[in-house]
Amino acid sequence: MKKRKWLFRRIYLMRMTISMIVCFLLFIFGGHFIGTTIQLLNMASITNTETLNEFTRSDRMYGRIQLSEITYTEIDLQQADGSRYKGYLADFDKGYLLFFQSSDSKPQDYFILSQQWRNDDQMKTFRTLMVNQISESFSLESTQVDAFISPVVFFDARKMIERSIPIGMIWMFSVFVTLLIMLLSYMTLLGRRVSQSFRKYHTYIYDRSEVLFHNHQWTLTENAIVRHWFTFDLISIKDVLQIEIEDYQLILYFKNKKISLTASESLASKLKSAWNISSYNEVSI
């Protein structure tokens, strides 16, 4: 029987330990999803040139913007993984805005601009080409055109976020299942411990002795002191080394600790009689 209990406890401890390790690894490798979610919740709202400049100077990764007049520049960006992005010029407030968008993105009335490519050499090259092209088309100085185009080339992250949603959902579900397994394992072990403690508690209270005092935290019997606050602690009266009664406080001294209980005069007298308190150090009340 003891071997069976030991095996049961070991199985649930192993399950809980494995769940904790898996959950820890999920949080390490899934930190990207947590960071992206926080950034999206803290997304800036871009409505004019001033808010756009504030966005480029801030630490925010994403900004929501509405653009109506958008022109395809016929300049594409080919990535090493085979993905293609199209370059666009947008009329915005008092100037122009440059951004790249995934070639398979669907038309929308709003965009989620990302700054993660702001220092990419390809972005700078794209901006330089657009400044030169506009200057030649309208016979303007490069410095004039440069002043009207945003210094940062953005990336429309809507498609990237949409692709990440299924992976994020799988990650969240995995974390939930892992935490649930860990919680159930812990509750099972705790339930068995409480059940065993409760059986001892029940035996001392109802089968072996008379209840002298009971409240939400303590039960005092002729033979034992039981604490039932979150967990069960069973203390035999034989383990009490010294008892003091002072200012309506019943103080019980043990080898490594002491317990203090509020005791009325009648309760103190009742406990003195039941526990043979005369054999202990007593301070009268």
pLDDT tens figures, 233-246: 777 777 777 777 77
- Pairing of β 62-65 and β 84-92: unpaired
Q: State the average pLDDT over residues 62-77.
A: 84
Residue 212, Cβ density class (10 Å: 0-12 exposed, 13-18 middle, ≥19 buried): middle
Q: Does domain 209-279 have CATH number 2.30.29.30?
A: yes
Name the pLDDT band for 53 (thresholds 50, 70, 90): confident
| pLDDT band of 91, cuts 50, 70, 90 | confident
Query: β-pairing, 70-78 with 242-246?
Result: unpaired
pLDDT of residue 205: 58
Cα gap 222→243, rounded to integer Å: 15
Confidence of residue 18 (pLDDT cuts 50, 70, 90): confident
In this prediction, residues 6-10 reach a mean pLDDT of 63
**56 touches 152 (CB < 8 A):** yes
Residue ranges covered by each domain of the chain = 1-196, 209-279
Residue 193 near residue 205, CB atoms below 8 Å: no
Over residues 32-36, the mean pLDDT reads 73
Is residue 285 over pLDDT 50? no
Short-list 57, 54, 52, CA closest to 97: 52
Which residues are within 8 A (CB) of 138 and not within 5 positions of it... i.e. 6 or more apart? 145
Which residues touch 214 (CB under 8 Å, ≥6 apart)?
220
Is the pTM value of this prediction over 0.95?
no
Look at 196 and 69; give whichever has higher pLDDT. 69
pLDDT tens for each residue of 152-210:
888 888 887 777 778 778 888 888 888 888 777 777 766 566 556 656 666 655 556 67
Provide Rg for the chain, Cα atoms.
36
Q: What is the pLDDT of residues 219-238, one digit of tens each?
A: 787 777 777 766 667 777 77
Most confident of 30-39, 50-59, 187-196, 247-256: 50-59
State yes or no: pLDDT of 279 exceeds 50: no
pLDDT of residue 106: 72
Instruction: Give the model's confidence band at 280: pLDDT under 50 very low, under 70 low, under 90 confident, else very high.
Output: very low
The better pLDDT of the pair 278, 244 is held by 244
- Decide if pLDDT at 278 tops 80: no
Strands (DSSP E) contained in 117-203 are: 154-156
